[in-house]
Amino acid sequence: MTEIWILVAANPAIDNLVSRGRELGGQLVAVVAGDRSCAEAIAASGVDRVVWLGEPGATPVEARAAAVADLVAEAAPRVVLAASHPAERVLAGALAGRLGAPALTMVSSVRLEADAVIVTHATFGGVAEETVRVEGPVVIVDECGSVGTGLPVPIEEVTATAPPTLTVVETRMSSTTRVDLGKARRVVAVGRGLARREDLALVEELARALDAEVACSRPLAEGLGWLSRDRYIGVTGQHVHPDLYVAVGISGQLQHVVGCRDAGTVVVVNCDAKAPYFGECDYGIVGDLAQVVPALTAALA
Ligand SMILES: Cc1cc2nc3c(=O)[nH]c(=O)nc-3n(C[C@H](O)[C@H](O)[C@H](O)COP(=O)(O)OP(=O)(O)OC[C@H]3O[C@@H](n4cnc5c(N)ncnc54)[C@H](O)[C@@H]3O)c2cc1C
């Protein structure tokens, strides 16, 4: 019988992976690198088997990637699924390397043929889709799901092959707060049009007036470091779908726009009337953000 393996680092929200595995048929085996409570949640989430590496103790779950890869590689499954959480992606990458298999993301469909796996997935950040034929094992990194329910199955504890060489020696609260922009109903995003870091206050005031989260284009987070990396939108950043997306001083390059294509109403503020974003928005304001943004904030107040 075909085995579909599911990689779990520490996040038990795998109902979409279980559904995907059920569509493919065969037995669903989850391997869990996280703690017992995670393994118990997985055991009651609709899978057929749970293989657990035992308590991670002071070892971060990502550091068990080699052990997970060894275990799954031994079973030689054709399809392996993982949710798109940071730690799960580490496990998926390690396993793909171990198997010499492709790791595919943003997948919309998977089909088993006698001698191949047919996968359709998005490319260019969702602008296009391609269908590929994989004649060997494939690792699929899928959307994050919710915690599912099912008849509990026993947890099979195994001993990790290679003990990790890494332990946590100190844990401190991060000085930056993490945001979940995916849940935001309103977002005000700012780009390189912002001349000085101090001017971020203008954008933050507008966001406050709109009860919105602040986001940005990649250069502000990765190059300038004016906002944290979890706030940049785009193909390599966050994907958001708010009711309202206000883009201030952002040119509208494809790599940015694909991250907010599902937004409801899009408002663009840019001093260049030829900025590409004006071709993608519902409302466009041509003007200097230093004047337009405070005026919008005042009007909202
Ligand atoms: C592989 C790859 C992946 C990438 N992934 C991402 C991604 O995920 N997200 C992302 O955002 N980018 C990404 N990029 C970068 C992307 O290509 C663009 O370079 C980036 O989005 C541009 O950011 P920006 O619009 O803020 O800056 P710019 O393109 O420099 O635009 C600044 C805009 O501000 C306007 N402006 C200037 N002054 C003012 C003013 N006073 N008032 C109003 N408007 C003003 C200008 O007219 C201009 O349109 C990626 C690039 C690559 C190569």
Strands 244-248 and 265-270: what pairing?
Answer: parallel
Q: Is 181-300 the same fold as 3-157? A: yes
Give the nearest ligand 1 atom to 272 CA: 47
Could you tell me which of 278, 174, 188 has the C-alpha nearest to residue 231?
188
Ligand 1: centre distance to CA 192 (Å): 6
Smallest CA separation from ligand 1 atom 41, residue: 288
Percent of the chain predicted with pLDDT > 70:
97
| Per-residue pLDDT tens digits for 156-214 | 999 876 677 888 888 888 766 678 898 899 999 999 999 999 999 999 999 999 999 99
What mean pLDDT do residues 256-272 have?
96
CATH among 3.40.50.850, 3.10.20.740, 3.90.226.10, 3.40.50.620 for 3-157: 3.40.50.620
Q: What is the pTM of this model?
A: 0.71
Q: Token pair of 235, please?
A: 């193909």
| Fold adopted by 181-300 | Rossmann fold (3.40.50)
Cβ neighbours of residue 93 under 8 Å, at least 6 residues apart?
65, 103
Q: Residue 162's pLDDT is what?
A: 66
Ligand 1: centre distance to CA 71 (Å): 44
What mean pLDDT do residues 252-275 have?
96
* Rounded Cα–Cα distance for residues 121 and 236 (Å): 16
Give the nearest ligand 1 atom to 277 CA: 49
Quickly state the pLDDT bin for 10 (edges 50, 70, 90): very high
Alpha helices in the chain (DSSP H): 15-24, 36-43, 65-75, 86-99, 200-210, 218, 254-257, 289-300
Q: Residue 266's pLDDT is what?
A: 98
Sign of CA dihedral 99, 104, 110, 115: negative
* Rounded Cα–Cα distance for residues 29 and 46 (Å): 10
CB-based burial label for 168 (10 Å; 0-12, 13-18, 19+): exposed
Check if the beta carbon of residue 43 is closer than 8 Å to that of residue 148: no
| Per-residue pLDDT tens digits for 64-94 | 999 999 999 999 999 999 999 999 999 999 9
| Mean pLDDT (the chain, rounded) | 93
Q: Residue 179's pLDDT is what?
A: 80
Q: Residue 59's pLDDT is what?
A: 85
Q: Residue 57's pLDDT is what?
A: 85
C-beta of 132 in contact with ligand 1 (< 6 A): no
What are the sequence ranges of the domains in the chain?
3-157, 181-300
| Per-residue pLDDT tens digits for 107-153 | 999 999 999 999 999 887 777 899 999 999 999 999 878 888 889 99
Amino acid identity at 283: Y
C-beta of 118 in contact with ligand 1 (< 6 A): no
Whether the pLDDT of residue 25 is over 80: the answer is yes
The C-alpha angle 8, 46, 98, rounded to 5 degrees, equals 30
User: HSE of 165 in the Cβ direction (CA atoms, 13 Å)?
Assistant: 1
